[in-house]
Amino acid sequence: MNSSPAFATASHSQELPSPAVLRRFDVAGPRYTSYPTADRFVDAFTADDYVQAVHQRNATGMNGRPLSLYVHLPFCESLCYYCACNKIVTRHKHWAAEYIDYLEREVALQVAELGRGVVVSQLHLGGGTPTFLDDEGLRRLLALLGREFTLSPEREQSIEIDPRTVDGGRLERLAEMGFNRLSFGVQDFDPDVQKAVHRIQPAREVFDLMGSARALGYRSINIDLIYGLPKQSRASFDRTLAQVCDLRPDRIALYAYAHLPERFKPQRRIAAEDLPDAKTKVEMLSRAIAAFTAAGYVYIGMDHFALPDDPLAIAKRQGRLHRNFQGYSTQPDCDLVALGVSAIGRVGATYSQNAKTLEEYYDLLEQGRLPVVRGLALTRDDVLRRAVIMAIMCQGHVDFEAVNLAHLIDFKDHFAPELAALAPLAAQGLVRIRDHDIEVTPTGWFFVRAVAMVFDRYLQADRNRTRFSRIV
């Protein structure tokens, strides 16, 4: 493991933004895993609205298209102070078995509407810590899904892993269960940072797990990192960057820590004075971008990097990149059925979210009701703007004529205010606005959220962005 990363000038296709430009765009904004964003969901959207959307999917023949499945497993054995996920901290392993009992009820209700045997091309287990479930619990869950859905032999099957909860033997058993993609939550390798966030995991353990995963032939391995954590410094984060480059995962997700203790109770255990200041955070981001691009990673967009031969990088080169509630994806744009407490799904032009507490989630299922408690039915304008924003976020390109034909508008007339608002970004070299299209520049990719935000009607009407993480 090296002591510091090598920093080199990237190729023209990976032009790096200066720290000054990064500071200029250090503002809050949505991550656009959906549009409209989840903060726009309303309680008026009910399980009945969700069922109507499923029936419309079936009536229009869409039930022949593959689904994406997401299962939220909320349990964790210990509390990480930075965490903003919906989780339940407990050492009571029997809670997992009870949870699967209720997932079985939810699956039955879903299949009653969707029809049995719908093909699933993508399955993702998130949390919480999915590996809180033991092998028996995971096998039981997968058997349940396999009975009610048709799991495609070519499916992408991924799981989020806390490295403290697995060993090489567990990774082997996960591979036998059909998992072919792993995401390791690392966050930072520095012992002082780990202590400050209550997540101690020696680097050597992660290196050993990576070696085991490689030997087992996992298709793709992701590492999650966070910058802006307490006790982080430029020097300490440089060491973490070097270690990650030595690990050489297929993908890297690099997130900015958003300190919102008024919203997320665990973060109240973090001392604000231990957090790096804004200038240091921007410098850490800048050095991370330089380190990863110098190590040969392709910048995918927002906070994701991938090796050139990874399917995500290939999809970006070929213009096949997609985006869903799990982030960037190689899977075709498809409906997402979400299972479990707080899980968010998408069917047609609707989004839906399950009850956020176990008590309410269990209660609704005991009543024989789908646990959908909020969501959104998209308007025509929402669908139009979603198409534009996703084209920006995924392809970095919006063709006016294609949008005109798909949505029966005149793009330049309909979006005249937005094109005017893009002009300053064009002047700063982030986008090119031409007579027939908009193109995000190589430098602009690092600020693609800022470009997309111009077309967000809700955000332009509501300037209160404190609910969002910062762009950089």
Locus of tokens 């619990």: 137
Domain for residue 21, yes or no?
no
Whether residues 313 and 426 share a domain: the answer is no
What integer pLDDT is reported at residue 472 of this predicted model? 56
Peptide bond into 64 cis (omega under 30): no
What's the whole-number mean pLDDT along residues 7-32? 63
| pLDDT tens-digit series, residues 37-47 | 999 999 999 99
What integer pLDDT is reported at residue 469 of this predicted model? 58
Domain for residue 13, yes or no?
no
Render the burial of 111-131: b for 16+ CB within 10 Å, e for the rest.
bebbeeebebbbbbbbbbbbb
Domain for residue 305, yes or no?
yes
What integer pLDDT is reported at residue 2 of this predicted model? 44
Structure-block tokens of residue 200: 């101690």
Which range of residues forms the domain containing residue 186? 38-337
Whether residues 288 and 391 share a domain: the answer is no
What integer pLDDT is reported at residue 1 of this predicted model? 44
Domain for residue 244, yes or no?
yes
Q: Is the pLDDT of residue 26 over 80?
A: no
Whether residues 197 and 333 share a domain: the answer is yes
| pLDDT tens-digit series, residues 102-132 | 999 999 999 999 999 999 999 999 999 999 9
What integer pLDDT is reported at residue 470 of this predicted model? 58
Domain for residue 226, yes or no?
yes
Percent of the chain at pLDDT above 90?
74
What's the whole-number mean pLDDT along residues 187-211? 95
Domain for residue 408, yes or no?
yes
Domain for residue 78, yes or no?
yes
Domain for residue 266, yes or no?
yes
Among residues 144, 134, 113, the alpha carbon closest in space to that of 340 is found at 144
Whether residues 386 and 329 share a domain: the answer is no
CATH number of the domain to which 451 belongs:
1.10.10.920
| pLDDT tens-digit series, residues 131-190 | 999 999 999 999 999 999 999 999 999 999 999 999 999 999 999 999 999 999 999 999
Whether residues 325 and 437 share a domain: the answer is no
Which of 317, 337, 357 is where one domain is finished?
Answer: 337
| pLDDT tens-digit series, residues 210-220 | 999 999 999 99
Continuous segment of H or E residues that includes residue 372: strand 372-377
For residue 350, the one-letter residue type is: T
Q: How many domains does the chain have?
A: 2
Whether residues 332 and 438 share a domain: the answer is no
Which of 337, 365, 392 is where one domain is finished?
Answer: 337
**CA–CA gap between residue 439 and residue 445 (Å, rounded):** 10
Continuous segment of H or E residues that includes residue 238: helix 234-247
Beta partners for residue 226, in sequence order = 255
Whether residues 192 and 251 share a domain: the answer is yes
What's the whole-number mean pLDDT along residues 405-413? 97
What is the chain's mean pLDDT, rounded?
Answer: 90
What's the whole-number mean pLDDT along residues 72-100? 92
Whether residues 301 and 449 share a domain: the answer is no
Which of 271, 302, 337 is where one domain is finished?
Answer: 337
What integer pLDDT is reported at residue 18 of this predicted model? 74
